Structure 1
Amino acid sequence: MRFNEEYQKKLVTPEEAVRVVKSGDWVDYASFSGQVIELDKALAARAEELFDVKIRAVTALRTPEVVKADPEAKHFVYNNWHFSGLDRKLHDKGLCWHIPLLYHELPGYYRRFLDIDVLMIPVSSMDEHGFFNFGPQASHAKAMCEKAKVIILEVNPNIPRCLGGREEGIHLSEVNYIVEANWPLPQVPAGIPTEIEKKIASYIMSELEDGSCIQLGIGGMPNAVGQMIAQSDLKDLGIHSEMFTESMVEMVEAGRVTGARKTIDRYKIGYTFSFGTQKTYDFLNNNPMCVIYPVDYVNDPFIIAQNDKVVSINNCIEVDLTGQVCSESSGTRHISGTGGQFDFAYGAYRSKGGKSFIAMESTFKKGEELRSRIKPILTPGAVVTTHRSVVYYLVTEYGIANLKGKSTWERAEALISIAHPDFREDLIKEAEELGVWRQSNRF
């Protein structure tokens, strides 16, 4: 292979590669299942000699070694665009900071506003043309490469080759250093949906039809919908989704997905990142049915809307009686991030025949106390993820409510009708005090 000589010249140990990092630098670790392991360990080993090294990542599936090596955050400042459960726990300890975003805008943030001194990014093995593939995390990878002063690849043969699309890889000539690694991709099983999640999913299933183009978010309930789709008799479904999920593999294998009725990327599955089990990664590897794109394509509401019958399905944490949706914090405690919820809620509504669903269990437990997720007002400090004017359908185990075109009192009525029965009378009293209830209301 004619690129081997250049490859060998750029090949260094992780310890040699991280010597380029200086105090005060901005370092990016890439995202999701594709975050560096060997380079992270090597950089952590330099903790005592570095100060104010600022790191950006997305949804860590392993606790970064730089955080473990610096429990007081004196040397490394770890920032994240969208929290995983691990990131959330680090945030609780003051070891992780959140960066708000609209996900479809993220590549533009890098190209317009952000600096990267050192980019460390995992890739698949080099092909015969000198290209490395970003694997299942194209997202904003190419935009980071364009802005990085130094690019270090962590080459891992276990990373699947995810076909594009566009901006799915980088050429050997564009990189500064190469490090070789051989770690397994994180295994993130979809989990078994609860009975409540299945009930919620059943309401959404009744709204699907042949030719629908599906987006599923993270969590048990969207996964429950995916499993029900696989077991249904729906035909010619499409997939255009920021995340490619394990249940989508089931949908394809069951013959539900052809993409034949899509108007863009026809016969193809469009996505921007994925994590799951090895079954998911094996499905994506060299699969011409799947095309990975940067997120400013996949999540652009005006691209989403070009397909007909787009169905967007996402979770939330709580909603107030006017329809404001919080999906990323519990009061002031940060839980996840905006992600693509707004992008797909807006894009699905603009789609001909499209529908967006935001789902939640009607209650949660605080200790032994049962509390409602439908509230008169959001918990103080709660982040509004999806504006009340953008919200379309809200779903709980007690039903489904369409908020489009409804006045404040109609919204209150619709939301209280899908609240847990134990909380409805109190919610009515609160609605009266807030001036969003009429004596003639009923549900």
Structure 2
Amino acid sequence: MKSKELINEKYITVDKALNLIKSGDVIVSGLGSAEPKEILKNLHKISDRVNDVTVTTCLPMEMAEYFTNAKYKDSFRMDGWFYTAAMRKGQKNGNISFIPNHLHLAATKRMDHKKTNIYMGTATIPDKHGYLSLSLSNVYEKRMMEKADLVILEINKNYPRTLGDVEVHISDIDYVVETDYEVPELPDVEPNEKDLMIGRFIAERINDGDCIQLGIGGIPNAVAASLGDKKDLGIHTEMFTTGMVKLIKSGVVTGKKKNFYKGKHIAAFALGTKELYDFLDDNPSIMMMDGYWTNDPYVIGKNDNQVSINTTIEIDLTGQCASESIGAVQFSGTGGQADTAIGAQMSKNGRSFIALYSTAMVKNKETGVREEISKIVPFLKPGAAVSLSRNDVDMVVTEYGVAELRGTTVSERVYKLIDIAHPKFKEELFIKAKELGLIY
């Protein structure tokens, strides 16, 4: 059968896609902008005929009724690899739970535990040969498609055709739903003064020819903005961002010094602005690869001079990083923080940075008044998840400087971390460290 005839056979409506879902199904959705927006925002409409449907997601962007509205909690539950604002809003309903994971193992470990009945995601319009590009993510998507009983993709002419390990033939897809919405964007966060100070401290420790991994937000954007005088940087990252596009366009990033895939920029997913999506479209220098491979610390470590830059919510005086929860309340996810931090340190001349502001403004539960607290603490909040163990921390950066922790003792760490804490909390931290027996 010709590709065109095969494609035409597989077109269905959103309603038909919803009709394929039955009670007890386990659905996996694409990550971030790769989620099937039209299907998910209408999923609650079948609540009257289904129950116990599980949707496994990562970085969901659609504030869909099926999980944000408590009235549907008996019909649907959400299991998430990484929380967003949408999930934080919905978790109070009691039908959302986090899946602890390192991102490169998210798919394989999940498949060991739970069979996926349906995979739903997004893709480009099929080309003349019948191939679609999964476009913006292959963290786990392709692996899940291969194992699922049913694969449904929303195809959209607005999605960029990316290259790498993201091509799928129409014969391997059960159904497609044609859509025409704009690609969901994550706006750039303009760096503030603290971001820029932290960005400069990190940039001072990045050399010409280094291979970098960046996340998104004010601090990573500030790092990118501080790299304008560097030469021949490379990219091997889980997330491709607008800041990276700017570095490539300015000639700072060339990839010429990488140990493998020279001249290519490697990522597992992309999330950002229209400028990013336009740059990705049909760009042979960008390779969207399987997250199982991209985020494998052993693969990351094969590039010399690999630099990992991540952020954390709070860090204790021994170096434990709580990057995904506030106490016991899940806020985001581990993602690839441990993957990339460990991988960078396995690299010849590699470095790993954990960045955070020295303080945060938090509402006092008793008075209701917002007050400044230290984010460098004697011990983490009760119930806090340790996203990066103290064994794997390298350099910690605040707006007050850099603490180099590699190979240090606990007592050495106390002094180094207090040195980059906000001045108003230093004395209190010393007193607590002595009470805990961390220093004498």
Which of the numbers 192, 196, 204 marks the counterpart of 2:202? 204
Describe how 1:296-315 pairs up with structure 2 within 5 A: 296-315=292-311
State the one-letter code of the partner of 1:191: V
Q: Amino acid of the residue matched to residue 221 of structure 2?
A: N
Q: Which residue of 2 aligns with 1:139?
A: 139
* Whole-angstrom distance in 2 between the partners of 1:6 and 1:252: 39
The amino acid across from 1:330 in the alignment is I
Number of residue pairs matched?
434
Deviation at 1:337, TM superposition (A): 0.3
Give 3-state SS (helix, strand or coil) of 1:371's partner.
strand
Structure 1: distance between partners of 2:341 and 2:221: 18
1:107-126 matched pairs, under 5 angstroms: 107-126=107-126
Q: How far off its partner does 1:22 sit?
A: 0.8
Moved more, 421-430 or 37-46: 37-46
Are the aligned partners of 2:59 and 2:83 in contact in 1 as well (CA < 8 Å)?
Answer: yes
- Deviation digits for residues 279-312 of structure 1 (CA, Å, limit 9, x no counterpart): 0000011101100101111110000011111111
Counterpart CA distance in 2 for 1:19 and 1:127 is 28
Whichever residue aligns with residue 370 of structure 1, its letter is E
Q: Any gaps of 5 or more consecutive residues in structure 1?
A: 439-443
Between the aligned partners of 1:93 and 1:419, the Cα distance in structure 2 is: 37
Structure 2: gaps of 5 or more residues: 364-369
For the residues of structure 2 that align with 1:139 and 1:347, how far apart are their CA atoms? Answer: 17
Cα distance in 2 for residues equivalent to 1:72 and 1:159: 31
CA distance in 1, matches of 2:112, 2:40: 27
**Alpha-carbon contact 1:45-1:69 (below 8 Å) kept:** no
**In the alignment, which of 180, 183, 196 is matched to residue 181 of structure 2?**
183
Q: Given that residues 26 and 54 in structure 1 are in contact (C-alpha distance below 8 angstroms), is that contact kept between their aligned partners in structure 2?
A: yes
Q: Distance in 1 between matches of 2:327 and 2:49?
A: 37
TM-score using structure 2 length: 0.96
Whether the 8 Å CA contact 2:4–2:128 is kept in 1: the answer is: no
Provide the secondary structure at the position in 2 that maps to 1:437.
coil
Is 1:264 the counterpart of 2:266? The answer is no
Q: Is 1:382 matched up with 2:384? A: yes
CA-CA distance at 1:123 after TM superposition: 0.8
What amino acid sits opposite 1:234 in the alignment? K
- For residues 93 and 418 of structure 1, the distance between their equivalents in structure 2, rounded to whole angstroms, comes to 39
Deviation by residue 1:32-86 (Cα, 9 ceiling, x = unmatched):
1111122224432111111111111111112124225653511110221101122
Query: 3-state DSSP class of the match of 1:132?
Result: strand
Percent same amino acid at aligned positions?
A: 39
Cross-structure match for 1:88: 88
**2:316 maps to which residue?**
320
In 2, the alpha carbon distance for the partners of 1:233 and 1:398 equals 23
Q: Distance in 1 between matches of 2:314 and 2:373?
A: 11
* Partner of residue 343, structure 1: 339
Determine the C-alpha separation between the residues in 2 that align with 1:92 and 1:329.
15
Q: Which residue of 2 aligns with 1:273?
A: 269
Q: Distance in 2 between matches of 1:42 and 1:379?
A: 38
Shift of residue 188, structure 1, vs aligned partner = 1.1
- Find the aligned partners of 1:202 and 1:36 in 2 and give their Cα distance: 39
Q: Which residue of 1 aligns with 2:6?
A: 6
Does the 8 Å contact 1:142/1:169 carry over to 2? no
What is the Cα deviation at residue 97 of structure 1? 1.8
| CA spacing shift, 1:187–1:233, aligned 2, 3 Å | same
TM-superposed deviation, 1:414:
0.5
Matched, 1:64 2:60: no
CA deviations 1:394-436 (Å, max 9, x no partner) are 0001110011111111011111111111111110011101111
What are the superposed Cα offsets for residues 189-215 of structure 1, whole Å, 9 maximum, x if unpaired? Answer: 111111001111111011011001010
One-letter code of the match for 1:13?
T
CA distance in 1 between counterparts of 2:194 and 2:289 reads 34
Q: Does 75-84 or 85-94 show the bigger shift?
A: 85-94
SS of equivalent to 2:144: helix
Q: 1:42-441 counterparts in 2 under 5 A? A: 42-68=42-68, 71-164=71-164, 166=165, 168-229=166-227, 232-367=228-363, 368-438=370-440
Distance 2:43 2:426 in 1: 54
Cα distance in 2 between the residues matched to 1:39 and 1:7: 19
SS state at 1:203 partner: helix
Give, as a single letter, the amino acid of the residue that structure 1 aligns with 2:384: A
SS at match of 2:71: coil
Q: State the 1:114 CA deviation.
A: 2.9
Q: Residue 40 of structure 2 aligns with which residue?
A: 40
Q: CA deviation at 1:112?
A: 3.4
Contact 1:213 1:238 in 2 (8 A): yes
- Paired letter, 2:394: Y
**Alpha-carbon contact 2:41-2:63 (below 8 Å) kept:** no
Shift of residue 387 of structure 1? 0.6
